[in-house]
Amino acid sequence: MGRDDARPRRDRRVSKTRKALKEALTDLILEKGYEAVTVQNVIDRADVGRSTFYAHFVDKDDLLMAILADLEVPGPDTSDWKPDDPAFGWTLELFRHFGSGKRLFKAVASSQSGAVARRETTQRLEKLAQAELSRLKAARTLDAFKLQTVVRFLVGTFIGFMDWWMREENEHLPAEQVDHAFRSLVLPGVANVLELELELPKSL
């Protein structure tokens, strides 16, 4: 077997090990809380050696940061936006993203880095909302106060929906239903404030 054949196997082995360690930390955080988890707990759960752990991560904080990187909020490519695209049509993509990693989001939210993750998510969502308002040309007609009010309303409501969706009794709801509820409640108010004719979803 040549070197070129061995590299894909090595890469798959590395990915498998990192995935096992991330899943182990996620499970342990949900079971006992981040502060109570030790590196030994993680390697025992993942069934790897201590040297293997340190070959990939500096400590459990470094492992948590790797999980946070996996949860980075995806953003639509604004260069592809067209004037006739539906207003805030990318929210469904975000709900699907959050829905696909509910366990990870719950684990991170309950860790000591939860506040950091929430702040970074909020900032990313604010940039998306501002970019959308610019596409709709609302940024040119609103003063700074009104513009920031709309942005905070959109982002705050989105995060509120996420918190509600993550509750155990609501986890079964599909992303499409949550997104429809969000858009049905939010877009009419935004359209009124911006004095724009937006394509609104059917009522709840």
Cβ-proximal residues to 31 (8 Å cutoff; 6+ apart), any chain = none
DSSP for 150-184? HHHHHHHHHHHHHHHHTSGGGTTS-HHHHHHHHHH
Tens-place pLDDT, residues 93-152: 889 988 887 877 777 777 666 777 788 788 888 988 888 888 777 656 677 888 888 899
Which among 109, 110, 117, 19 is positioned nearest to 68, based on CA atoms?
Answer: 117
Amino acid at 200: L
pLDDT computed for residue 117 by the predictor: 75
Domains, the chain, with CATH or none: 3-68 (1.10.357.10), 78-194 (no CATH)
Tokens of 189: 């108010």
Query: What is the number of other CB atoms lying within 10 angstroms of the CB of residue 58?
Result: 10
pLDDT computed for residue 68 by the predictor: 78
- Give this prediction's pTM: 0.71
Q: Are 58 and 107 in contact (CB under 8 A)?
A: no
Which among 182, 184, 192, 65 is positioned nearest to 125, based on CA atoms?
Answer: 182
**CA angle, 137 then 129 then 135, to 5°:** 25
| DSSP letter, residue 85 | S
Question: Which regions of the chain are under pLDDT 70?
Answer: 1-8, 73-84, 111-113, 138-141, 200, 203-204
